[in-house]
Structure 1
Amino acid sequence: MPRIADSTLVSETAYVIGDVEIGENSSVWHGAVIRGDLGEGQIGAGMRIGSGTHIEDNAVVHSATAIGNNVVIGHGAVVEAFKVGDNVLIGNNATLMATSEVGNFCVVAAGAVVLPGMRIPDRSFVVGAPAQIKGEVSAEHIEHMRLTRSLMAALAEEYKKDRSPVQRPE
C-alpha cells in the first residue's frame, strides 16, 4: 500500500501502486506511473521517493529503487535504477535501466540511456545513448535544477487549489 505525505500532490491521472513511500512536498503529475509492486514482500523490496521530488507527466518509475530528495524526473523518463541521489535532474525521455546508480547533483540529459549496472559519480553531466559522462555539473546546471524544482513546487501548489483537469475559457 502506498504511503504518500499529505503535502504531496498526486494527479488524479497518475498511477501509484505497491510498496511506495513518497516524501513531503513532492509531486506526481498526469499520466505518471509509479510501480512498487516488483518484489513486494521481499527484504529490501519497495520504493522510496524523497521529499521535494517531482515526477513529471508520463514518467515511469518501476522497481525497488531509492530516489533522493530534490529530484526532478522529466516528462516521459523511465527509471528502473537501483538508486538516484539527491539534487538530480533526469531529462525528458531519459532511461535509467535496472541496477544503474546516479550520484548526487547529477544531470542526466534528455534522451540519455543509462545502461544496466552503470554507476554515475556525484556532480556528473551525462548525455547520449548509451550514456557517457561529458563533464561536471556546473553552477549554472545547479541553478537550473533549483529553478525547475521551484517551478514544479509552485505548479503543484496552484494545482492543489483547483484540481479541475480541464481548463475552460472564460
Structure 2
Amino acid sequence: MPLFALEGLSPTVHPDAFVAPTATLVGDVRVEEGASIWYNAVLRADLGPIVVRAGANVQDGSVLHGGDDPVTEIGEGATIGHLCVVHGAVIGARAVVGNGSTVQDGARIGEGAMVAAGSTVTPNSELPADRLMLGSAAKERGELTEQARWWVRTNPDFYRALARRHADGVTPA
C-alpha cells in the first residue's frame, strides 16, 4: 500500500483497517479501526487533514482531498461509493455517498443520510440526518425509503466482512 509523507506529516492506519495494495494515501490521513480503503482510491491530505472513522469504507477509484475546512471527515460506518470525489467535506456516521457522486467543499452530509449515485453536492450544502439528496446540483428529496434505510444500516458490516476477505486472501497472481 503506497503511503507517502508530505512535509513531515504521514498517514496513520490502524492495524485492523484494510488499505488495498493499490490505494494511495498522502500526508495527514488517519484511517481508524475497521475502516477500509479500496483499490485505486486516493486520499490526498495536502491542504487539510483527512479522517476515515471506524468502520467507514472508501470504495474503488474514489478520491478524497482535504480542503479548507479544519478536516475532511468520513464518519463512523459511512460509505463512499465507487468513483466518488469528496473534497473538503464532512460525511456523517453511516451516511452513504452513492457511486460516481461528487461532494464539494464545505458540504455536510448528515448521519444516516444518502447522496444518490451520480449526484453533485455543491459547496456548503447541508443534508440533514436520514434524508435523501440527488441530482446535479443535488437537492434534498425527502426521507429515505425503507430499502435505502436497510442499505445504510447493513452496508458497514458488509464492507467490514469484505475487507477481511481481501486482507486475508488477496495475493499477487
- Specify the SS of the correspondent of 2:124: coil
Q: Which amino acid aligns with 1:92?
A: N
Q: Which amino acid aligns with 2:31?
A: I
Q: Which residue of 1 aligns with 2:34?
A: 25
TM-aligned CA deviation for residue 141 of structure 1:
1.7
Q: Which residue of 1 aligns with 2:87?
A: 80
Aligned-CA RMSD value: 1.3
Q: Show the 5 A alignment for 1:16-165.
A: 16-38=25-47, 45-63=48-66, 64-165=71-172
The 2-side partners of 1:66 and 1:153 are apart by: 19
Taking structure 1 as the reference length, the TM-score comes to 0.89
Aligned residues: 160
Deviates more, 1:76-85 or 1:101-110: 76-85
TM-aligned CA deviation for residue 3 of structure 1:
1.1
Q: Deviations over 1:118-142 (max 9, x none)?
A: 1111111011000011111244322
Q: Which amino acid aligns with 1:149?
A: P
Identity %: 30
Q: Deviations over 1:78-126 (max 9, x none)?
A: 0014311111011000000111111111000000000011111111101
The 2-side partners of 1:165 and 1:10 are apart by: 15
Q: Which runs of 5+ in 2 are unaligned?
A: 1-9
Q: Which amino acid aligns with 1:56?
A: Q
The 2-side partners of 1:81 and 1:87 are apart by: 18
